[in-house]
Structures are given as structure tokens and as C-alpha cells.
Amino acid sequence: MKTIRSILIILILGILAAPLTASAGRTWVFFKDKGYQTQRDLQQALKTEELRLLPSTRSRLQKVRPAGGLLCEQDLPVFPFYLDAIEKAVQQKPHAVSRTLNAATFLLDSKQMEMVANFPFVSAIQPVRQFKSDPEPLSPQKSNNRTVQDSLFYGDSYLQNQIGNFVAAHDHGYTGQGIFVGMLDAGWDTLQHPCFDSLEIIATWDFVNGDSSVANDPGQLGIGSHGTATLSCMAGLDPGNLVGTAYGISVALAKTENTQSELPVEEDNWIAGIEWLDSLGCVLVTSSVSYYNFDDGSSYSYSDLDGNTAPITIAADYEVQRGIVVVNSMGNRGNYTYPNNKMKVPADGDSVLSVGAVQGDSSRASFSSLGPTYDQRTKPDLVALGSSVKVAVRAPYPYEYSSGTSFSTPITAGACALLLQAVPGLTPMQVQSYLKNSATQAENPDTLLGWGVYDVWRAIQTALSAVPGGEIKPLPANFVILSAHPNPFNSTLNVYLTLPAPGEFTLGVFDLQGRRITSLTSKSHNPGLRTFIWDAKAQSSGIYLIRAGTVWGEKTCKVVLLK
């Protein structure tokens, strides 16, 4: 119900509406409160908002909030009548609205800024900061530090999995299955890439252009391949070519960066994006976008990297308070002079898991940005391979190697996903703690490598040992046929699957009428990844079904034989 004060504000400000001038800039407008006049009104709003929570969001909040108090005033939406009043006054809709900051962004000129700042419900206005992103150029470089053992499954993406001991975790059935991950990035130019064939993409949204496509659409702002690359090293699966560190996850993708300009829009896009991912029920968010710009007075200085100044950092930290593991890149400024070699926002957040980069021998990559924060907190938190990481790209090159903390970050987000699969009840800070305690510098963290290179399998075992009963074993989830490759195929087919726990299963080939063509296996197996070969030289061209049966259920994969 509209309050009398709100109605009067809207009527008065409609008369004061001012035209936009050429000097306009995007501006944060912060509000004094959420508009509730009494404690009773506030409590009723909290109850109403709690009823709207998705089950996954409720479960996530229950890990970090006290019983009976899942939501607080900061979780409520911005008061709509405040927004209505400003919309009428400046004759435009907000570009972004943040419940966390209790703020919205508008394109305002100097006169409008002065007018809006005098509204009784406005606490402050502040320009949206102008940033340059910290990109890592993709190039078809050759890597001279590859370890290619076990190449039948990992190919030469083995090293980026092996350094964090993901291979052992995968062998025990941990792939991130059942974990919903959000990604904030610059755009995804080829989600049709073969490594994404088995990836479940729940939702996409373009915060630059305001539509549901995150691809490079004609005539739109922001052309991105960066998202394709970062997503692939976390969630890609193309056996023999590239295996992501958490290839069993499902994802939501938010395009937040306009790569064709340096307009001051990325900060509010990022904040709107992470709140959208929160609303979908994501339990983990990874962002390989870090921002810097010390070229003009509108940028953040080193003294602002205190975890409490940049709106983007404040928003990131608060999402951790809402139960989301937030992972962000440190940036690639390590070779710059002080203080330009420091981490960039929002990696300065005290609850953000900030990730630096190492080379193939686990030594620090020189480009990886340094800590500490301005208030002397240790950053980075962890490091992972960020040099010559194998990633997916658009044709004609299906895969290339690239370097940067943009890739060590989603690799590490994969470690978080595996931990959450093993022990879903972990809070974000517990996830950080288990990974840090498993790392190479756990006893002596520094501002170059933080706590060091983690061991995800060791972290999983430690977390499982704390579960009542103390039994360290893979969870009894359904096994998954990961891939049949190549598909279509000519004569010989490789079938890849994983078993989450010891047990007997059958694997056979059937025609579309359900008749068994052959049996590939029928015996007990240890947990982990398995490869089976179907020699179909005697079969005619057509569609066949690969069917696996276990005590947990049945899975089927469709394949095409072309001769």
C-alpha cells in the first residue's frame, strides 16, 4: 500500500522533472531505508519475502543464518515508491537496482544529481566508477610444460587438474554433480562447443544489452570469448581433449561486461548480476572479472582496497553472508610497479575467495597480482594453475592455451563445487578453510601465493571426516554416462562413465526397439572414471542406445553410427 509520504513525493517530483544533458554520467543513488514505517510493517515484509524463497535458497541461507531469522532488512527489495519518485523526476528507468546496497543507478547530469541528492529518502549519490577490465589475450600458443599422462581421458588438460589433485577426487566420483554455479563474465561466443555438450545451462542473462542471450549477437554491445574459455576449464567435458575441474555442475551465466568500451557500467552490471544469480539459488559464484584504473580521479586508489569501500566488494561480501561461495580473480598486474601491482576489486573482500596464478611447477606466475589489502589482510587466498591453461575457443581452433588469473579462478571454483558435493552443509567460510588447510603454505601464508596450492582431494577427505560417523567414501549418487566419443562415429566408439561407489553394474548396447546388440561389461567395479570400447564394425549405420544399469538407477546415451 502506498504511504501518504510516497504519494506526495511522486506528485511533487513529477513537476520537478529535469531534461537530460550531454554531461550525464551513470550514478549510484543510495537510499536511507527500505521504506517501512513501523516494525510491524518490516516484519510482515520479511515474512512475505521468506515465503518467496526457492527451496535451494532457503537451504543455503539456513547454513549461515540463525533459525527463525533467515532474512533481515538488507535482504528486502528497494522500496518501489522511492524508485518511482526518481523515475518520474529524471524521466528514465534505473539501469540497475541493488537490494544489498539499497541503491539504484541512473544516468544523471549535474543538475539532476543535485536535485536527487536533496530528496528526503536519499542518503548519498556517487558516480559509478570507470574501469578497465584486466583481460588475458587468448592465443594459439604451444605449451612446453604439459604433463600428458592419463591422456586417454584428460588429454593435455591433465596438468590443470593434477596440480590441485582433482584427478584423485574425480576417481572417487566427485565431479560437482548437483551443484548450481553462477558465472559472471564478458560473454560466451560459442556455447555450442563440443566440450559443453553435456553441460546443463539453467539460465542466461545479458546485463549489458538487457536480454537472455549471452552470445555475440549482431548489433549489440560487448563481444566476448572470455566466458567460453573460463567456463571450459571449470565445466567443460570432451574426453581426450579437455576436462574441467567440476564437469558435473550445472550453471547460470551472467554477461556483465561491455568489452567494446570503457563506459562506467560494469560495476553496477556485476552487482545486478550476482544478485540475479542469488535469486536463482546458486550456491557458488565465480567471476574472472577484476577491475583497475588509476588513470583519473574517478578510479579506486590502493587506499580504497580495504574491503569496505567499493560497492562491488561490499556486494560480494554480503552474498557470502547469504551462503554463497564467491570466488574472484586477483588480476594480472603483478609485473606493474607499486601500488598498481595489487589485487583489484572485488578481490579485496574479506569474505571473497581471491585466487592468484602459478606456473606448471607450482611457482608463482609473475603476472599474478599481489596482496596485501590496504588494511594489511593477506591476499591472495589460494592459487592454481594460471599459465598455459587449456581452454575452449571458437573455430577454427577448438582449443588453445591461455594464461591469467581468469583461469586459475574457475579451476578453483571447481574445487569449491567438489567440496560442496561431498559435504553440502558446508558454509562458504568452511569451504575456504578446508581448502586453505590443505594448501602448501597453510602454516605460513604470504602476499605472493597466499595459503598456496590446495589439494582438493585432501580437503574433501578432511571435510568428510568431520561428518558424524567419520566415514570417508563417495556419496551414493547416480552414476552418469559422461560421454560417448566420437558421436557420430564410424566403427569404434569410446564410452566414458563414472561410478560414485563400489558396486556392480551392467553396460550394454541396444537398438531403438530395445533389443540388446552387445554387452560391454557386467561386473563389480571400484569407484571412478571408466572407459569402454564398442567395436561396431559388424553393425549397420543407425541410432543406438548405450544403457547402463546400477542399483541406483539407469542411464541411457544415444549414439549415431555412420559408415
* DSSP characters over 39-87: HHHHHHHHHHHHHT--HHHHHHHHTTS-TT----GGGSPPPHHHHHHHH
Q: Does residue 333 lie within any of the structural domains?
A: yes
CA distances for 485 relative to 419, 537, 542, angstroms: 29, 16, 16
Using CA atoms, how far apart are residues 221 and 258, in angstroms rounded to an integer? 6
Given 132, 163, 196, which residue is the final one in a domain? 132
The pLDDT, as a whole number, for residue 290 is 65
pLDDT at 524 over 80: no
Given 465, 495, 515, which residue is the final one in a domain? 465
pLDDT at 532 over 90: no
Q: What band does 12 get if pLDDT is binned at 50, 70 and 90? A: very low
Considering the domain architecture, whether residues 338 and 276 belong to the same structural domain is answered as yes
> Is pLDDT larger for residue 139 or for residue 276?
276
The backbone torsions φ and ψ at residue 417, rounded to the nearest 5 degrees and listed phi first, read -65, -40
Averaged pLDDT, 188-202 = 92
Considering the domain architecture, whether residues 549 and 507 belong to the same structural domain is answered as yes
- All three cell numbers of 421, joined, read 558435493
Task: Choose among 411, 105, 165: nearest CA to 288.
Answer: 411
Q: Does residue 192 lie within any of the structural domains?
A: yes
The pLDDT, as a whole number, for residue 151 is 54
The answer to whether the CB of 73 falls within 8 A of the CB of 47 is no
Residues near 378 by beta carbon (within 8 Å), at least 6 away in sequence: 371, 372, 445, 446, 447, 450
The answer to whether the CB of 413 falls within 8 A of the CB of 326 is no
Using CA atoms, how far apart are residues 371 and 382, in angstroms rounded to an integer? 12
Using CA atoms, how far apart are residues 190 and 183, in angstroms rounded to an integer? 15
Averaged pLDDT, 219-231 = 79
Given 132, 158, 184, which residue is the final one in a domain? 132
The pLDDT, as a whole number, for residue 337 is 92
Considering the domain architecture, whether residues 180 and 211 belong to the same structural domain is answered as yes
The pLDDT, as a whole number, for residue 258 is 65
Considering the domain architecture, whether residues 379 and 489 belong to the same structural domain is answered as no
Considering the domain architecture, whether residues 338 and 250 belong to the same structural domain is answered as yes
Angle, nearest 10°, between helix axes 405-422 and 428-437?
Answer: 110
Q: Does residue 475 lie within any of the structural domains?
A: no
Q: 533 is in which domain, residue-wise?
A: 480-561
Considering the domain architecture, whether residues 457 and 496 belong to the same structural domain is answered as no
- Supply the CATH number for residue 206's domain: 3.40.50.200
> Is pLDDT larger for residue 555 or for residue 293?
555
Using CA atoms, how far apart are residues 161 and 357, in angstroms rounded to an integer? 14
Across 352-363, b (16+ Cβ under 10 Å) vs e yields bbbbbbbbbeee
The answer to whether the CB of 64 falls within 8 A of the CB of 428 is yes
Averaged pLDDT, 232-260 = 90
Q: Which of 126-130, 155-159, 288-292, 331-335 has the lowest mean pLDDT?
A: 288-292
Read off the DSSP letter of residue 155.
Answer: G
Q: Does residue 412 lie within any of the structural domains?
A: yes
Considering the domain architecture, whether residues 118 and 151 belong to the same structural domain is answered as no
Q: What is the pLDDT of residues 392-441, one digit of tens each?
A: 998 777 999 999 999 999 999 999 999 999 999 999 999 999 999 999 99
- All three cell numbers of 98, joined, read 541493488
Q: What band does 46 get if pLDDT is binned at 50, 70 and 90? A: very high
Considering the domain architecture, whether residues 123 and 162 belong to the same structural domain is answered as no
Q: Does residue 474 lie within any of the structural domains?
A: no
Considering the domain architecture, whether residues 211 and 337 belong to the same structural domain is answered as yes
Q: Beta-strand (E) ranges in 248-394?
A: 250-255, 284-287, 291-292, 325-329, 353-358, 382-385, 389-392
- All three cell numbers of 372, joined, read 596485501
Which residues make beta-bridge pairs with 480?
498
The answer to whether the CB of 410 falls within 8 A of the CB of 418 is no
Residues near 381 by beta carbon (within 8 Å), at least 6 away in sequence: 353, 354, 355, 432, 436, 450, 451
Using CA atoms, how far apart are residues 547 and 506, in angstroms rounded to an integer? 8
Q: Does residue 430 lie within any of the structural domains?
A: yes
Q: Does residue 33 lie within any of the structural domains?
A: yes
The pLDDT, as a whole number, for residue 477 is 44
Q: What is the pLDDT of residues 293-326, one digit of tens each?
A: 533 445 678 999 999 999 999 999 999 999 999 9
Q: What is the pLDDT of residues 468-492, one digit of tens each?
A: 765 544 444 445 555 678 888 888 9
pLDDT at 282 over 50: yes
Domain count, the chain: 3
The pLDDT, as a whole number, for residue 408 is 97
Which residues make beta-bridge pairs with 401?
139, 390
The pLDDT, as a whole number, for residue 17 is 44
CA atoms within 13 A on the CB side of 10: 12
The helix/strand/coil state of 522 is strand
- Supply the CATH number for residue 549's domain: 2.60.40.1930
Considering the domain architecture, whether residues 128 and 153 belong to the same structural domain is answered as no
Tell me how many helices (H) and strands (E) the chain has.
13, 24
Q: Does residue 472 lie within any of the structural domains?
A: no
Q: CA-based angle 489:490:494, to the nearest 5?
A: 55
pLDDT at 512 over 70: yes
The answer to whether the CB of 450 falls within 8 A of the CB of 378 is yes
The pLDDT, as a whole number, for residue 529 is 65
Considering the domain architecture, whether residues 11 and 43 belong to the same structural domain is answered as yes
Residues near 314 by beta carbon (within 8 Å), at least 6 away in sequence: 100, 101, 308
Considering the domain architecture, whether residues 350 and 460 belong to the same structural domain is answered as yes
Q: What is the pLDDT of residues 48-106, one digit of tens each?
A: 999 999 999 999 999 999 877 899 999 999 999 999 999 999 999 999 999 999 999 99
pTM over 0.95: no
